[in-house]
Amino acid sequence: MLRKTITVIAFLSFFIAVGGISPVFASSQLEVTIDPNSDTAYAKMVYQRSISIDYSDGGKLAETMNGKSEKISFTAIASNPGIESLIAKLNSYFASQGSQASISDLSLEYKSTLTGRSTSMSVDYTIILRPTIENIVIKHGSGNDPTLLDADWRGFGALGPVVINTPTYGDVEINLPISSFEKFTPSLALSLKASDAAELLYTRLMDGDEIKAQPIGNWHFLFDPTGIGVDAKQYGFETGSVISSFTMGESSLREGLIREQIHEATFVSDKTYKVTSFESSGNASIDILGFANRDTLGTSEIFGVTPNAPEGYATTSTGEFPAFILYGMAGMAALGGVAIMIISQRKLKKEGKNLKQTGIDPSQLTGVQTSASSGGYQTIRGEAQVTGLEDYNEHRSYYDEEKPQVEEKSEDKPSSKRGALPKGFKAEK
């Protein structure tokens, strides 16, 4: 047990340093809060990607795309036939992953933007889904018997084209990147379709497989036993309840090093251009009202949730990191400080034995105010004088001594009206 504790302490700093590395953006980013008592979860899934074309060597693209700007932006709700179709696709994904959960309501925000620059152009995509997920509870519990929650739905996405009808843009396909190129630059889209870059432009945007692929056992677990769940208010939850949080997306020894996903290809038109698809790794955050443990049911991962933590449970970090280790580390730091103080005191005492006071005893000194300094005003300057010596003149300050005034000296220069002597003149003797 001692060896395990020492090992954990030794690597704690490494975990903290590595765990602080996180991506700025994400190709798929899941945020969800689950209330086991309502059998409902309100989630937010964000998909992001950027595709750029480099024309720094010039060409027709540099002439036609520089300064070009286009944008498609809209929102849609479940009453839209396209959203109904999207819900069906997402529920099909749930079923394919062995999940019993289903989406009952969904809203969507979509934006794609084309930006042309002097050396390159890019199309940036953002899709935000806000689904209401039901049938998450596999089995209701009571007391110490935990409620079992389905977790296999977590990395959801959609396959194939997804068409949304909009009042402004008409029918818009949102899941395949090539669709925006067809809207913004039809001729360029034709060239891309017939090139090696076609695969990049037909790779679906709504892809959360990376979240599903990372086992929850590798996620970071944080448990708030204080019941101060301020963020829960936005979901209508009462504060004073314990909250369990599972997060992924940070680099660690278990999850590995998180790297952005970059794919490159080329297409040939009047010359060869490079196409680059960029997205960061996915991340997720699942907050559960209650104390949650990750478990397995057959081949599926689940959460077992109880209203309160087991008696004596003090998990405060990833991997059931015990609180006594944290307190032990603080205690070791305190002991180290005490040891340093003891060593310092001993050293001072040892050195003090060889030190003897020389000179005048400070108790025999008294303070004496000096006289006015040069310049004619009184200062607060003072000096020490030995008690009993009445002759102050023998100990007066250097600055009280009479100093001769330094006057600026000027010399009268003789005036001469005589002219200069000729060169080589010598006076007669």
Q: What is the reported pLDDT for 319?
A: 46
Q: What is the reported pLDDT for 424?
A: 62
Residue 154 confidence (pLDDT) above 70: yes
- Choice between 388 and 283, residue whose per-residue pLDDT is larger: 283
- Choice between 24 and 319, residue whose per-residue pLDDT is larger: 319
Q: What is the reported pLDDT for 392?
A: 53
- Choice between 3 and 207, residue whose per-residue pLDDT is larger: 207
Residue 411 confidence (pLDDT) above 70: no
Q: What is the reported pLDDT for 77?
A: 95
157 in a structural domain: yes
Amino acid symbol at 193: K
- Choice between 417 and 277, residue whose per-residue pLDDT is larger: 277
62 in a structural domain: yes
Q: What is the reported pLDDT for 383?
A: 65
Between CA 52 and CA 340 the distance in angstroms is 59
Structure confidence by residue, pLDDT tens digits, 70-94: 999 999 999 999 999 999 999 999 9
Identify the band that residue 421 occupies on the pLDDT scale cut at 50, 70 and 90: low
Q: What is the reported pLDDT for 9?
A: 44
Between CA 250 and CA 423 the distance in angstroms is 95
Q: Are 181 and 189 in contact (CB under 8 A)?
A: yes
3-state SS, the chain, equals: CHHHHHHHHHHHHHHHHHHCCCCCCCCEEEEEEEECCCCEEEEEEEEEEEEEEECCCCCHHHHHHCCCEEEEEEEECCCCHHHHHHHHHHHHHHHHCCCCCEEEEEEEEEEEEEEECCCEEEEEEEEEEEEEEECCEEECCECCECEEEECCCCCCCCCCCCEEEECCCEEEECCCCHHHHHHHCHHHHHHHHCCCCHHHHCCCCCCCHHHHHCCHHHCEEEEECCCCCHHHHHHCCCCCCCEEEEEECCCECCCECCCCEEEEEEEECCCEEEEEEEECCCEEEEEEECEEEEEEECCEEEEEEECCCCCCCCECCCCCCEHHHHHHHHHHHHHHHHHHHHHHHHHHHHHHCCCCCCCCCHHHEEEEECCCCCCCCCCCCEEEEECCCCCHHHCCCHHHCCCCCCCCCCCCCCCCCCCCCCCCCCCCC
Full residue range of the structural domain in which residue 89 is found: 20-217+257-287
410 in a structural domain: no
Q: What is the reported pLDDT for 17?
A: 37
332 in a structural domain: no
Average pLDDT over the chain reads 78
Identify the band that residue 325 occupies on the pLDDT scale cut at 50, 70 and 90: low
Q: What is the reported pLDDT for 251?
A: 56
Mean pLDDT calculated for residue range 328-356: 76
84 in a structural domain: yes
* Count of domains observed in the chain: 1
Mean pLDDT calculated for residue range 108-125: 96
Residue 164 confidence (pLDDT) above 80: yes
Residue 144 confidence (pLDDT) above 70: yes
Residue 429 confidence (pLDDT) above 70: no
Identify the band that residue 26 occupies on the pLDDT scale cut at 50, 70 and 90: very low
Q: Are 174 and 139 in contact (CB under 8 A)?
A: no
* CA contacts within 13 A on the Cβ side of 373: 9
Identify the band that residue 156 occupies on the pLDDT scale cut at 50, 70 and 90: very high
Residue 380 confidence (pLDDT) above 80: no
212 in a structural domain: yes
- Choice between 302 and 425, residue whose per-residue pLDDT is larger: 302
Mean pLDDT calculated for residue range 40-52: 94
Q: What is the reported pLDDT for 28?
A: 87
Q: What is the reported pLDDT for 145?
A: 87
Q: What is the reported pLDDT for 176?
A: 96
341 in a structural domain: no
Phi and psi at 235, nearest 5°, equal: -105, 10
Q: What is the reported pLDDT for 121?
A: 95
Residue 340 confidence (pLDDT) above 90: no
Structure confidence by residue, pLDDT tens digits, 166-205: 999 999 999 999 999 999 999 999 999 999 999 999 999 9
Residue 371 confidence (pLDDT) above 80: no
77 in a structural domain: yes
Q: What is the reported pLDDT for 217?
A: 86
Between CA 52 and CA 62 the distance in angstroms is 13
